[in-house]
Amino acid sequence: MTDDGAGNGGNDAGGNGKGALGELVKAESMIQLAIALPAGCVIGWLVGSWLDRHFHQSWIAIVGILLGAAAGFVQIFRTASRYIKRG
Is the residue at 50 inside a domain? yes
How many separate helices (H) and strands (E) can be counted in the chain? 2, 0
Measure CA 12 to chain center: 26
Q: Which domain holds residue 34?
A: 28-86
Is the residue at 80 inside a domain? yes
H-helix or E-strand containing 45? Answer: helix 20-55
Task: Look at the chain and report how many structural domains it folds into.
Answer: 1
Q: What is the pTM of this model?
A: 0.69
pLDDT band at 15 (very low <50, low <70, confident <90, very high): very low
Question: 40-61 burial, b if ≥16 CB within 10 A, otherwise e?
Answer: bbebbbebbeeebeeeeeeebb
Please give the pLDDT value at position 82.
84
Please give the pLDDT value at position 26.
82
Is the residue at 23 inside a domain? no
pLDDT one-digit tens code per residue, 32-73: 889 999 999 999 999 999 999 999 999 999 999 999 999 999
Q: What is d(CA 55, CA 20) in angstroms, rounded to the nearest whole number?
A: 51
Is the residue at 8 inside a domain? no
